[in-house]
Structure 1
Amino acid sequence: MNPDLLPTDEELVYEEEILRNSYSMRLWWRYIQARFDVPFRKRIILYERALKFLPGSYKLWHSYLLERMEAVRGLPPGHASFESVNNTFERALVTMHKMPRIWLLYLQSLVEQRYVTKARRTFDRALFSLPVTQHERIWELYLRFVRQPGVPSETGFRVHRRFLKFEPSHMEDFIEFLMDSGKWQEAAERLAEVLNDQSFQSVKSKTRHQLWLELCDLLTKHAHEVSGLQVDAIIRGGIRNFTDEVGRLWTSLADYYARLSLFEKVRDVYEEGMTTVTTVRDFSLIFDAYSKFEESLLSAKMSRMGEEDEESEEELDESEMNDVDLLLARFSYLIERRPELLSSVVLRQNPHNVHEWHKRASLFKDNPARQVRTYTEAVMTVDPFKAVGKYHSLWTAYAHLYESQNDLKNARVVFEKAVQKIYKTVDDLASLYCAWAEMEMKHKNYKTARDILKKATMEPSFATKKLMQGDRDLPVQMKLYRSLKLWSTYVDLEESLGTLESTRKVYDQILVHKIATPQIIINYAAMLEENKYFEDAFGVYEKGVQVFKYPHARDIWTTYLTKFVQRYGGKKLERARDLFEQAIEKVTPEDAKPVYLQYAKLEEDFGLAQRAMKIYDRATKAVLDGEKLSVYDIYIARAAEIYGVPKTRDIYEEAIQSGLPDKDAKLMCLKFAELERTLGEIDRARAIYIYASQMADPRSDTEVWSKWHDFEVTHGNHDTFKEMLRIKRSVHASYTQAKDEMAALERQIAPVGQTQPPSTLKEGLRQLGFVSAGVQAAEGRILAPGDAKKNPDEIELPESDEEDETGEKLVQKAVPDAVFGGLAHKAENGGKEDDGKAPANPKAGKENNRDKDEPLGALERLKRQRRA
């Protein structure tokens, strides 16, 4: 005996225990695990000894078989060691035939050994031995086995058919196997069965649409291998059911016939597809396939003729040349028809697309007969209430087509039929009548054109109205007589070709039907004026202003008043005043300015200047706030021209106190101050500057302050200049305080309980733009009012009396004695009162003294006046 197989001292312990209890699984397993590193032959003996006592132990058999399989791993198929392993598996299955794991190990080993017949029989034995609940594990490996190379396709076919009896839902796997095996007939039949079964659920998440496309591809690509199925009916059924792949299915059907060499049938299929699809994508797909088909036939024919020409020097048969010409003509004809076929597709999408019908007719511009057929089809197809575009334009283009061929008779027939159709709006029918009349005028049939419009504008009889009274949806023919477009064309034609009386009748009918517009009123009156019927023209204006309100009556009133003043001037002044008063009574603030100015101009030219001034005054209160400044400028200019400059003071004061916006009020103050300066009233000008300064923020509005500065430099003294600077600081502080109050108000309305650190509040005030007058942030800390930095905008007065804050030298000028009044005489008398003479301007002196004694009080009074 081989000494390596004899038990060692360590093994004797296990041997003694086994002798005492040879049927203990625990002892044998400990023994085997303890001798894991011994030679493989010795471990085989241990396993065999253990299995002799425990032949029904799954654990021992499983471990033993795994080690036997690992020992032969990597050996080439057909090695002698595999036979021993297979015998071991067979001995194990005597007792382990109900264990699926043992079967799987055996089957996996046989698959690796490439024993096809033995493996197939073993798979069958496993399925026969195991319960049906365990078959799924066997079938998974079985199907992978039959798909391996080298396994006969017939074997795989039979195995898959058996598997379908176990799992009928896996038909898709069987179909894939059939297609991989080249069994196209069986695959097509099985796929057709799946599609016919409405209860079929795909295990691969394929839709019926995908399965249908697979069937179509199979039938078309393997037309010769598949028989017994109605391919044409199947594909056409897919075309009816699956509208999103219509183009692909049509090309598949054509490809099917092309593989059968039925070329005429292919053309029929392509033509049918192009004339039935409703999307441009499907049409493009079919057209491209069709053109490639024709091109391939032409190329094949020419290449075959070239080969025959090289083989034989004889001339080609005339019939073959004719075939080439025929194929070339077919290809060219197909390319030429593409725009027409594409237009048909778009019209199938929406047959009521008027623009597409016009586009289609333009394709046949060289073929009038085709254009006539197109327009005939269009007017019969399009529904006026569903039309996209103007339906009446089809009839108009239809008639103009005959007109372009000098066939006026048929053009009139088209118009006569057109005006009898039902339309969506009255304007459509009116456009047809206008186009008909224009055609007749173009060919100088003026009387016919007037008769057409006269007939169209004729009001239906009372009996007809009563008959149609209960019909809510009246036809447009019953409403045509109120079409403004039709009446406008009619009146233009009458003005050009008719008499004055006939034209007036048309205008009067428009007024009776109450469809006139302001422009028609003006045109009617202008026509009467041209024919010297002035009072009749003014009567038309009167009707217009009674019918229309502002803003629609603006042009009528403007023209009426202008024409009346031009006609009569001052002859009928009271009547003109009455007209202007009526206009002013009805005018809106937006349109008031030109009316008032025209009224005032009338009084200036023909009336009284005092009335003109009153009208200007009324205008300042009637116009919009944004136009008041311009009206005041005109008012002041006219008052200065008529009454003189001093008269304008009252107007300036009224303008400033009338509630003008601050921007306009400041401009008015500056103009007023300039006026007083030119009149020598320096104190009055200064008071006006003081009033205007309350509305000017020194930080942003510098116009007032710069003009006041120049004024003081020119006309003031050291005290008045200091007073200006003091007021400037006061105004600056008032605006700053207002912003601080806004900040405090914002903090008050903040949510209760909102707590933020001082730095956050400080940043918030900065973001909102609030500027504190006494507390400023510097270097990340809160400064107390006493520690606040100096305001960079604060103006420091120089210590010298001769220089201002900019360092410029003040110009010393003589002040007129009138400025100081009686004080000048008192100074000349050594401080004594004049001998009984009053000061030249006592009010100014008192006011100046009061301002000097009580500067803050004067400022407060100005503020209160501004607020009032």
Structure 2
Amino acid sequence: MPGTLLAARSQRHHAQVQRTSASEPDLYLISSEDTIYEQDVLRDPGSVKPWLSYIDAKQQQGSMYEQAFVMERACKQLPRSYKLWKMYLDFRIKHMRGRNPAAHRSEYQKVNSLFERALILLNKMPRIWEMYLSFLLQQPLVTQTRRSFDRALRALPITQHNRIWKLYKAFARSASGDTAVKIWSRYMQIRPENAESYIELLIEMGQYTEAIKRYIELLDNPRFQSKEGKSHFQLWAEMIELMVSKAKDINTSAHAGINVDSIVRSGIERFPDQKGRLWAGLATYWITKGNFEKARDVFEEGITTAMTVRDFTLIFDSYVEFEESIIGNLMEQAAHRSANGKINEDADFDVDLRMLRFEQLMDRRPFLVNDVLLRQNPNNVIEWEKRVALWGDNKVEIVETYTAAIAAINPKKAHGKFHDLWVNYANFYEKGGDLDTARVIFDKAVKVPFKSVSELAETWCEWAEMELRNENFDRAVGVMAKATQAPKRSTVDYFDENLSPQQRVHKSWKLWSFYVDLVESVGTLEETRKIYERIFELRIATPQTVVNYANLLEENKYFEESFKVYERGLDLFSYPVAFELWNLYLTKAVDRKIGIERLRDLFEQALDGCPPKFAKVLYLMYGNLEEERGLARHAMRIYERATRAVSDEDRFEMFNFYITKSASNFGLTSTRPIYERAIASLPDREAKDMCLKFAEMERRLGEIDIARTIYGHASQFCDPRTNADFWQKWEAFEVQHGNEDTFKEMLRIKRSVQAQYNTDVNFIASQAIARGQQRAQEGAQGDTEGKERADAMAALERQARAPMGFVAASTGPEGGDRFPPVDQQPSDTVNPDAINLDDDMDAE
């Protein structure tokens, strides 16, 4: 039954199609093969699936018209189906791809109408709008496209607007003109962060006034963050550049609300590190506007307010370039008029006037640079001095500069020597012959609260030197006497910064030194001595003061008085300063040949509390005194004390000196206890050297056993691997004076010492260094010495291989005469206690 109904419905539908064939010729596009799809569509008219199958079949076998026919019917049947409309629209757009919109305008219009039909019920579908708008962008329909974009924005929720604005901005770029500006102005209401792109568009469209307004809005908004990472100054720079380059195209009327001058000046205050660039930009703006006098005013204001040399240089170079261009243009015009036979005296005068102005500008440059540096730091004394030098012989300006400098500089913050400025000011009048004015300046200068006492002291000294240059010796002495006025007993601390320099200057050594030299040159001895005594009373004497005072008395034959000065100085100073005073005092006392007991007392005082590093010189002087004027054994006791009192660095040298003096005065045997004490008190390295000297002395005295004992004692300080020279000397000693038993004992001691050092952890680190030094020393000695050492070792080996006995190299006191020659020994005799010398030599 259902099949019968379906067949009947199909026949009725076919008959209907045939009845309407005269009015709808497209129905002939339905073939007999489509019956099954038609039946599926009739069976389920509200489903999309049969239509999709129908369309798929037509896409595989049907023509383009058949596909369009089926899709059209499907969209009419199911007008709310997004999938069917999407498929149909894609099909129609693809069909129009590559065709000229102008030549096929009617076809494009059909597709537009199709989109309009689709959007009646699918106006909330952003993809349909995107397809429609993209399709419209291909057509020359500006108004329709703009209105369609507006409809899309109204139809879609705001969350989908980004998709539309992406196309809308592209349309605005292509449309350009007022349309683009208006579209972007709407876009900026929802996306203000894209203001930079909007400004770029405005500049492209020639809307410079509006672009500057947008720049101002951005710069006034502290929350604005550039999407391109630009700083506020970069935005300022872009705005200034736009103002300068497009000055004639910008509307600066009151209605527009753009005041370029105030805008740039606000930037100068806001960005002080870019003042030079902004001042030059403002001047360039007026130049572009053609207002040259206003540009000059801006340049002048810039170079007179710049705070850095960099800004000044930038503004000044722009200023010079501007003036040169103006003069160049005027000269070209004048040359052109001359070529045409026309003479314009006013124009020529204008050229001369501008040339004069340009020359004055170049002459002002050093002064302008100096102004910049003084604006940076008005307390810069050096720059004020340079400004004085710039005026040359212009006395009026020099005086005004000195006056301005003194008024501007804060003495406590002065950079440089402020007192030099006062001194040079006074010297300026001195050179002009006006000493009275110079004295007035100095009198004011000594009342200035300088940063340090030394500056005030220098000022007093310069005043006195001025009087000396003009041969006013009494005035010079009077100036220094006034400078050094102080209470009888002054308790002022020279280094107390809470007191003014004027309160502390009387304790300035520089001041008193100049005063005493002055009085010594032009005054009497008594006056000089009073000043020296006053220095000692104020307790500001230095070691140089003591020496100078003592030398002064010595030159005037007051020898005892000079010695007292040295003693007063020694009461003031302790070591190490006292060492130099004692050295001079004792030298002069010895040269004067005063009593021996007094000299001994002085030396004992000098040595009392003397640091070890200064004791050596004093002990040598003391010992030499006893040798020359006293007793030799007193000198020996002094040298013996010196070996205990001197520093470790000088002790070895002192022992050598002591030994030499003892040997020369009392013979070699008297040095034995000295050697023994030296070996006991010196460090190992120096003790080894002392042992070698001691052993050599005993060998010369014929005390071979004592020398051998000394070598044995010294061996504990000498590792065979790092002190090979010691063992070579001992071997040479045994070869010359020993026998087989003593040589064996030496070798035994050598092995024992080596084993001891092998287990010494502290010694391991030094082995590598010592070995490297040994190699360097061996390399420096050369091939000849190496050959001699090889020959000596070969001789030792030959002696060691002797079957019995020991053949010495010489016949000393205990030499080899006690043993028979080798050829008298039985050849088959073997000593069971003999050691293998070859192994010992190889081990070395």
TM-score range, shorter chain: 0.7 to 0.9
Equivalent of 1:137, from 148, 157, 163? 163
Aligned partner of 2:341: which letter? E
My pick for the range that moved more, 475-484 or 727-736, is 727-736
Question: How many percent of aligned residue pairs carry the same amino acid?
Answer: 46
Offset at residue 690 of structure 1 (A): 1.9
Deviations 1:103-138 (Å, cap 9, x if unpaired)?
A: 221111111223212212222332343344444433
CA distance in 1, matches of 2:440, 2:220: 58
Equivalent of 1:738, from 760, 766, 784? 760
1:816 maps onto 2:840 in alignment: no
Offset at residue 166 of structure 1 (A): 4.7
Query: Relative to structure 1, is the Cα distance of residues 430 and 769 closer, same or farther in structure 2, using a 3 angstrom cutoff?
Result: closer
CA distance in 1, matches of 2:796, 2:658: 44
CA distance in 2, matches of 1:366, 1:35: 109
CA distance in 2, matches of 1:16, 1:766: 110
Partner in structure 1 of residue 751 of structure 2: 729
Offset at residue 203 of structure 1 (A): 5.7
Equivalent of 1:678, from 669, 678, 700? 700
Q: Secondary structure at the match of 2:577?
A: coil
CA distance in 1, matches of 2:277, 2:625: 84
Q: Secondary structure at the match of 1:385?
A: helix
Equivalent of 1:125, from 151, 156, 163? 151
Partner in structure 2 of residue 857 of structure 1: none
Partner in structure 1 of residue 75 of structure 2: 51
For 1:750-761, list aligned pairs within 5 A: none
Partner in structure 1 of residue 590 of structure 2: 565
Offset at residue 4 of structure 1 (A): 10
Aligned partner of 2:561: which letter? D
1:698 maps onto 2:720 in alignment: yes
My pick for the range that moved more, 317-326 or 99-108, is 317-326
Aligned partner of 1:218: which letter? L
Aligned partner of 1:728: which letter? K
Offset at residue 460 of structure 1 (A): 5.0
CA distance in 2, matches of 1:547, 1:649: 44
Partner in structure 2 of residue 17 of structure 1: 40
Offset at residue 379 of structure 1 (A): 2.4
CA contact 1:361–1:375 (8 Å) conserved in 2? yes
CA distance in 2, matches of 1:202, 1:32: 52
For 1:541-556, list aligned pairs within 5 A: 541-556=566-581
Query: Relative to structure 1, is the Cα distance of residues 54 and 824 closer, same or farther in structure 2, using a 3 angstrom cutoff?
Result: closer
CA distance in 1, matches of 2:807, 2:71: 128
CA contact 2:722–2:770 (8 Å) conserved in 1? no
CA distance in 1, matches of 2:68, 2:602: 133
Partner in structure 1 of residue 302 of structure 2: 273
For 1:344-743, list aligned pairs within 5 A: 344-460=371-487, 473-569=498-594, 572-658=595-681, 660-739=682-761
CA distance in 1, matches of 2:481, 2:172: 93
Deviations 1:12-34 (Å, cap 9, x if unpaired)?
A: 54333222112201222243345
1:337 maps onto 2:364 in alignment: yes
Offset at residue 297 of structure 1 (A): 1.1
Aligned partner of 1:535: which letter? E
CA distance in 2, matches of 1:94, 1:2: 25
Query: Relative to structure 1, is the Cα distance of residues 797 and 605 closer, same or farther in structure 2, using a 3 angstrom cutoff?
Result: closer
For 1:142-221, list aligned pairs within 5 A: 142-148=168-174, 151=175, 153-167=177-191, 170-196=194-220, 206-221=230-245
My pick for the range that moved more, 295-304 or 159-168, is 159-168
CA contact 1:803–1:810 (8 Å) conserved in 2? no
CA distance in 1, matches of 2:393, 2:690: 75
Question: Structure 2: which 5+ residue stretches go unaligned?
Answer: 1-24, 772-792, 820-832, 835-844
Aligned partner of 1:53: which letter? Q
Offset at residue 526 of structure 1 (A): 1.1
Partner in structure 1 of residue 124 of structure 2: 98
Query: Relative to structure 1, is the Cα distance of residues 824 and 107 closer, same or farther in structure 2, using a 3 angstrom cutoff?
Result: closer
Aligned partner of 2:123: which letter? H
Aligned length: 765
1:241 maps onto 2:264 in alignment: no
Partner in structure 2 of residue 774 of structure 1: none
1:303 maps onto 2:332 in alignment: yes
CA distance in 2, matches of 1:478, 1:422: 10
Partner in structure 2 of residue 786 of structure 1: none
CA contact 1:402–1:408 (8 Å) conserved in 2? yes
Q: Secondary structure at the match of 1:691?
A: helix
CA distance in 2, matches of 1:714, 1:574: 52
Partner in structure 2 of residue 108 of structure 1: 134
CA contact 2:277–2:315 (8 Å) conserved in 1? yes
Q: Secondary structure at the match of 2:366?
A: helix
Partner in structure 2 of residue 85 of structure 1: 111
CA distance in 2, matches of 1:521, 1:804: 77
CA distance in 2, matches of 1:531, 1:770: 61
CA distance in 2, matches of 1:7, 1:444: 139
CA distance in 1, matches of 2:488, 2:301: 54
Query: Relative to structure 1, is the Cα distance of residues 481 and 742 closer, same or farther in structure 2, using a 3 angstrom cutoff?
Result: closer
Aligned partner of 1:398: which letter? Y
Partner in structure 2 of residue 288 of structure 1: 317
Partner in structure 2 of residue 754 of structure 1: none
CA distance in 2, matches of 1:810, 1:4: 145
Offset at residue 694 of structure 1 (A): 1.7
CA distance in 1, matches of 2:93, 2:748: 112
CA distance in 2, matches of 1:458, 1:374: 33
For 1:842-853, list aligned pairs within 5 A: none
Query: Relative to structure 1, is the Cα distance of residues 799 and 161 closer, same or farther in structure 2, using a 3 angstrom cutoff?
Result: closer
Partner in structure 2 of residue 62 of structure 1: 86
My pick for the range that moved more, 603-612 or 157-166, is 157-166
CA distance in 2, matches of 1:485, 1:180: 76
Offset at residue 770 of structure 1 (A): 14
Deviations 1:674-695 (Å, cap 9, x if unpaired)?
A: 2112222222222222222221
Superposition RMSD in Å = 3.3
Offset at residue 412 of structure 1 (A): 2.1
CA distance in 1, matches of 2:767, 2:678: 39
Offset at residue 331 of structure 1 (A): 2.7
CA distance in 2, matches of 1:411, 1:804: 104
Q: Secondary structure at the match of 1:532?
A: coil
Query: Relative to structure 1, is the Cα distance of residues 488 and 345 closer, same or farther in structure 2, using a 3 angstrom cutoff?
Result: same
Offset at residue 387 of structure 1 (A): 2.4
CA contact 2:737–2:813 (8 Å) conserved in 1? no
Query: Relative to structure 1, is the Cα distance of residues 693 and 385 closer, same or farther in structure 2, using a 3 angstrom cutoff?
Result: same
CA contact 1:632–1:655 (8 Å) conserved in 2? yes
CA distance in 1, matches of 2:57, 2:680: 118
Query: Relative to structure 1, is the Cα distance of residues 535 and 129 closer, same or farther in structure 2, using a 3 angstrom cutoff?
Result: same
CA contact 1:104–1:138 (8 Å) conserved in 2? yes
CA contact 1:97–1:129 (8 Å) conserved in 2? yes
CA contact 2:702–2:813 (8 Å) conserved in 1? no
Offset at residue 738 of structure 1 (A): 1.7
CA contact 2:176–2:205 (8 Å) conserved in 1? no
